Structure formats: structure tokens, C-alpha cells
């Protein structure tokens, strides 16, 4: 049996943009939990485990006055990331090929943000210690560290699936993808034959479905490392605290609030602990209440004391706008165990006000739609919408814009133009940078094609261009989960999707600066 490698480096990781790593989103986590966040712009940012650089480069394009560093151990990833940045002429990012244990010896700046998505559970204890020490050493006071990892107790029922797959893969020949295929096929065969493990563990069945959906490269990186350790939150929080890094909150945002996160039947149990339950104890108990299997946590170096004033100051100075995807504000937000409703006159006033563009709480309180509502009432409503992620923080105020569908448009950022061109050759989502929002927006392959047509093809020629493309190019096409076959049917569906995109998505892209009139 071959020993598993410490890192899977013979197979590139799947391409993806991770919106949780955006500084605007991390600032929101800190502020809603009562901690003054790091700067909104002009900062230094480091992503550990940056893979192909999709997230780091998109964020760098979104914050041209900030400075970004991506770190990865895979030479192919670093080469891919450098090509991505060069194609988009993103000059405020650099990528470093380095092991975490040697990273502290590099000449790197002090960072306001350090992120490590999907790293901690897949490295040795020594590497994890090195990562935490690096963050503790290189973060500025008040700086934020974001980590995501496989969590217990949720993974307790699923970890044997990893053992099954990795054990079979270790006996197989070929590269990591070939070995992952044999492991997954064995697991799937056992499930079909009615193995009791899968009968007794529905979560294992769901995880097997997930890995088949995400592909074998994902499985190789998820399961075939030598080190694979799900962790209890309290243990990690203690490790972080020993290094001077203190827990401030987590994503998704609603999980920071007992009344939204905890099942109704368990609320009395949480309430009975009263003041004896600090935040660490609350999070630990909540993980059992929710059977948490993946956590996205934010820690702060040397935080000041928690303060409601920090939350108010953030809300009063940060513009908020509707979600990047656009559309009207919802009337409610449904979470696994609770529903948060947005009803009443103040929300009725916020809908048209936010529909005109992103604005601060103060500006919203002064608009005619909210006449008669005092600032605290508007602030509270904006906070509820932000917790539900019905609105998002923006870098500056915006104004909704007319976007005639028959006009020709352009992408002002070269990084976005390069991403769009590359996206036409693959069947994966692409991310476009928004300097107004300070994050990236993912478009599906069909949406990317629609945007390409709007930016490259004159209005009278668009229908015939789509027909010609479908006639000469065979490609897989999925629209809202439905596979579309046949070139004639694909052309017909694409025409409808182009009209829908121009009507519903294009105005929002113009508002947030991704697209402008040519």
C-alpha cells in the first residue's frame, strides 16, 4: 500500500472564486459582532493556499489601491495564477511558491487580512501551527484571519467514507485522479449493494453525491492528502487564542445569532446557561445543535473590547446595496430553523430607496421614502437585511442605471475582459471584479456568453451570431439545472437567456461598474 502524499500536487485543484474571502465580507463579520474592522481600502492582504489565484486576483482587481499576496505549495497553481494576473494586467498581486513552515522567513509586509480557505483540515499539525504562527506574526493589530475547515461533530459520521476512499486509492495505480476514481467507484458500488454504513449514515450518502457532482480533482484534494483532520471549534479557538488570535464571528452571518441559528426546541437549553456561557462555549454547543461539519471562522489579532458603538459606526459609514445579482429586496429570509421577516413601513421605504442605489444608513434616513423614521430605526432594519445577506456592503454609493438592451457595452477592467474571454472556452463559472462592491460576481457559462454578446456583438447581429455559434460549436449547456440538447434548441434557449440577462442582470452590472456603455 502506497503512503499518501502530504499534498496532492500532481492534479490541479478545481477553479473557484470564494466570496467569503472578500475584505468587505470579513469586515461585515467583525462589525456585526461588535469589533472595529480593518481598513476598507489601501490594505495588505494575503491568501494562504491560493490555488490558481482566482480569488486573490479577482479581489486584487476589485481593490486596485490595495496590495495582495497569494501563497501556494503547488508549482502548477502558482504558474496558473501568474498567467491569470498577467492576462488581466492585475499589477497589485504577486504569488509566492512556499511551504507554510518557511513562509515566515520571507520578506513580506504586515497584513490587514490573512485568509486560508479549506487548508487547516488538510495539513499536518506542524503546518497548521506554522500557519497560525504566520498569521499571529504578520497580522497588524486588529487584523482579521479567516479560516474554513472540516468541523466536528458533523464529520464524525462521514469520516469513515474518507477512510474507505483513501484506503482503496492507496492500492490503485496512476495519478491522484485515477486513484480517486477507484476509491469513489468502490464507495458507490458498496452503496448500491446496500452496505449498512450508507443505510445508517444518510450524511455519507449525501457527501458521496456531492463529490461525484464536484468531480475527481475535488475528491483527490479533499480526501487523498496524508493529513486529514476534522476539528472541534473549541480546540481550534484555544490554539488561536494561545497565539493572540481571538474569535470574533463566523459565516454565514445568521449563525452569529442564537435566535436565528438555534432550533426552537433547544433555545431553552441555551438560555438556561445564561451568563455562564461565553462565546466559545456557545459556539461549541451550537455545533452539536446543528451537527456542524464545515465552519468558516474569523479571528482578530489583539482586538479591542466588543462594543455596540463599533457596530453602529460601521453601519452608519458603510454604503449598502442590493445583492450583486440584483432584483428586489425579499420579504423574508428563510434559515434552516427560523424565518426572518422584512415587513412593516420601514422596509416598505427601504425597498425603493435601495432600489435607486447603494447608500449609507444616514443617507437612507434622509430620503423621502423613509421620512418620519429616526436613524436608529433605519439602522436596525439595515442590520437585519445585512444579517440575512439580502443587502451587501459596498465600497461607495451607487446609482441605479438605465441599460438599454440594444446598446453595445464594454468591460472597463481588463481583468474582467480577460476572464470573460477565457470563460467562453470552459463550462465552469467565471468571476468578474467589481470595484464598487469590493468583491467578485460569478456568472454561469450561459450568463458569460450573454455578456460576451452584449459587449462584442452589435444588437442587429446577436440572434444570428448565437445561431452560428451553436451550429459550429458543440458544447454542454445547462440552464437552471436543465440540460439543453440539440443545436437548434440551444440557439433558441440562448436567445431567451440573452433577453432575460439584458433585462434583469445588465442594469445591476452597469450600476456596480462591471459594465459600461461603449
CB 77 within 8 A of CB 48: no
Q: What is the DSSP string of 178-199?
A: HHHHHHHHHHHHHHHTT-HHHH
**pLDDT tens digit string along 102-146?**
998 999 999 999 999 999 999 999 999 999 999 999 999 999 999
Question: Which of 393, 417, 321 shows the shortest CA–CA distance to 61?
Answer: 417
What number is the average pLDDT over the span 389-403?
94
The domain ranges of the chain are 19-150+230-301, 154-223, 318-393, 409-517
What number is the average pLDDT over the span 283-288?
96
**Residue 420: pLDDT band by 50, 70, 90 thresholds?**
very high
- For the cut 60, the answer to whether the pLDDT of residue 402 exceeds it is yes
Residue with cell 430553523: 337
**What stretches of 75-230 adopt beta strand conformation (E)?**
93-97, 111-116, 139-150
Compute the mean pLDDT over every residue in the chain, rounded to the nearest whole number.
93
Say how far apart CA 277 and CA 432 lie, in whole Å: 42
**pLDDT tens digit string along 331-369?**
999 999 999 999 999 999 999 999 999 999 999 999 999
Q: Please provide the distance, in angstroms rounded to a whole number, between the alpha carbons at the two ends of the chain.
A: 60
What number is the average pLDDT over the span 8-35?
91
Instruction: Output the pLDDT for position 1.
Output: 42
The CA-atom distances, in angstroms, between 482 and each of 277, 449, 494 are 48, 17, 13
- For the cut 60, the answer to whether the pLDDT of residue 427 exceeds it is yes
Grid cell, residue 358, equals: 447603494
What number is the average pLDDT over the span 168-192?
94
Instruction: Give the H or E element holding residue 299.
Output: strand 294-301
Question: Which of 234, 227, 233, 218 shows the shortest CA–CA distance to 121?
Answer: 227
What number is the average pLDDT over the span 449-478?
89
143 vs 470, residue with greater confidence: 143
- For the cut 80, the answer to whether the pLDDT of residue 481 exceeds it is no
Alpha helices in 215-297 (DSSP H): 216-223, 233-242, 258-261, 267-273, 279-290
Q: What percent of the chain has pLDDT over 70?
A: 98
- For the cut 80, the answer to whether the pLDDT of residue 268 exceeds it is yes
What number is the average pLDDT over the span 180-204?
94
Say how far apart CA 244 and CA 137 lie, in whole Å: 9
Instruction: Output the pLDDT for position 273.
Output: 66
CB 318 within 8 A of CB 24: no
What number is the average pLDDT over the span 305-315?
95
**Residue 12: pLDDT band by 50, 70, 90 thresholds?**
confident
The rounded Cα 341 to chain-centroid distance in angstroms is 25
Q: What is the pTM of this model?
A: 0.94
- CATH code, residues 318-393: 3.90.930
Q: What percent of the chain has pLDDT over 90?
A: 81
- For the cut 70, the answer to whether the pLDDT of residue 2 exceeds it is no
- Looking at domain 19-150+230-301, its CATH architecture is 3-Layer(aba) Sandwich (3.40)
Instruction: Output the pLDDT for position 489.
Output: 85
- For the cut 60, the answer to whether the pLDDT of residue 433 exceeds it is yes
Alpha helices in 276-401 (DSSP H): 279-290, 308-317, 345-355, 361-366, 375-387
Instruction: Output the pLDDT for position 326.
Output: 86
Instruction: Output the pLDDT for position 4.
Output: 57
Instruction: Output the pLDDT for position 5.
Output: 62
Instruction: Output the pLDDT for position 285.
Output: 94
Burial call 190-225: b when 16+ CB within 10 Å, e when fewer: bbeeeeeebeebeebbebbeebeeeebbbbbbbbbb
Amino acid at each position: 500500500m502506497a503512503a499518501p502524499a502530504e499534498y496532492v500536487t500532481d492534479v490541479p485543484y478545481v477553479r473557484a472564486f470564494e466570496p467569503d474571502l472578500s475584505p468587505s465580507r470579513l469586515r461585515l463579520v467583525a462589525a456585526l459582532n461588535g469589533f472595529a474592522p480593518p481598513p476598507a481600502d489601501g490594505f495588505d492582504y494575503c491568501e494562504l493556499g491560493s490555488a490558481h489565484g482566482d480569488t486573490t486576483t479577482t479581489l486584487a482587481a476589485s481593490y486596485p489601491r490595495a496590495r495582495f499576496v497569494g501563497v501556494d505549495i503547488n508549482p502548477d497553481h502558482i504558474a496558473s495564477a501568474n498567467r491569470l494576473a498577467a492576462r488581466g494586467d492585475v499589477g497589485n498581486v504577486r504569488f509566492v511558491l512556499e511551504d507554510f513552515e518557511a513562509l515566515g522567513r520571507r520578506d513580506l509586509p504586515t497584513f490587514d487580512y490573512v485568509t486560508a480557505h479549506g487548508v487547516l483540515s488538510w495539513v499536518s499539525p506542524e503546518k497548521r501551527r506554522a500557519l497560525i504562527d504566520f498569521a499571529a506574526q504578520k497580522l497588524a493589530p486588529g487584523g482579521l484571519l479567516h479560516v474554513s475547515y472540516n468541523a466536528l461533530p458533523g464529520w464524525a459520521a462521514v469520516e469513515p467514507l474518507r477512510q474507505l476512499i483513501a484506503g482503496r486509492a492507496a492500492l490503485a495505480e496512476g495519478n491522484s485522479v485515477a486513484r480517486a476514481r477507484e476509491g469513489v467507484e468502490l464507495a458507490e458500488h458498496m452503496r448500491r449493494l446496500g452496505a449498512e454504513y450508507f443505510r445508517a449514515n444518510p450524511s455519507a450518502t449525501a457527501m458521496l453525491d456531492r463529490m461525484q457532482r464536484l468531480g475527481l480533482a475535488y475528491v483527490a484534494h479533499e480526501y487523498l492528502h496524508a493529513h486529514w483532520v476534522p476539528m472541534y471549534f473549541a480546540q481550534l479557538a484555544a490554539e488561536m487564542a494561545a497565539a493572540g488570535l481571538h474569535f470574533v464571528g463566523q459565516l454565514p452571518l445568521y449563525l452569529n445569532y442564537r435566535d436565528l441559528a438555534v432550533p426552537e426546541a433547544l433555545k431553552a437549553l441555551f438560555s438556561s446557561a445564561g451568563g455562564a456561557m461565553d462565546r466559545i462555549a456557545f459556539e461549541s454547543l451550537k455545533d452539536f445543535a446543528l451537527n456542524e461539519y464545515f465552519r468558516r471562522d474569523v479571528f482578530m489579532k489583539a482586538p479591542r473590547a466588543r462594543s455596540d458603538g463599533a457596530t453602529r459606526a460601521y453601519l452608519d459609514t458603510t454604503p449598502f446595496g442590493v445583492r450583486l445579482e440584483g432584483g428586489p429586496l425579499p420579504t423574508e429570509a428563510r434559515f434552516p430553523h427560523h424565518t426572518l421577516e422584512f415587513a412593516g413601513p420601514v422596509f416598505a421605504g427601504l425597498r425603493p430607496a435601495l432600489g435607486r442605489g447603494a447608500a449609507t444608513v444616514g443617507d437612507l434616513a434622509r430620503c423621502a421614502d423613509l421620512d418620519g423614521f429616526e436613524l436608529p430605526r433605519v439602522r436596525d432594519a439595515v442590520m437585519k437585511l445585512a444579517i440575512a445577506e439580502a443587502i451587501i456592503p459596498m465600497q461607495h454609493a451607487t446609482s441605479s442605471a438605465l441599460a438599454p438592451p440594444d446598446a453595445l457595452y464594454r468591460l472597463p477592467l481588463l481583468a474582467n475582459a480577460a476572464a470573460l474571454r477565457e470563460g467562453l472556452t470552459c463550462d465552469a463559472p467565471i468571476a468578474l471584479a467589481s470595484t464598487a462592491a469590493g468583491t467578485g460576481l460569478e456568472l454561469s457559462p450561459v450568463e458569460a456568453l450573454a455578456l460576451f454578446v452584449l459587449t462584442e456583438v452589435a444588437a442587429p447581429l446577436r440572434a444570428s451570431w448565437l445561431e452560428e455559434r451553436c451550429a459550429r460549436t458543440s458544447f454542454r449547456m445547462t440552464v437552471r439545472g436543465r440540460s439543453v440538447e440539440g443545436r437548434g434548441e440551444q440557439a433558441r434557449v440562448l436567445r431567451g437567456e440573452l433577453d432575460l440577462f439584458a433585462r434583469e442582470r445588465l442594469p445591476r452590472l452597469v450600476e456596480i461598474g462591471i459594465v459600461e456603455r461603449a
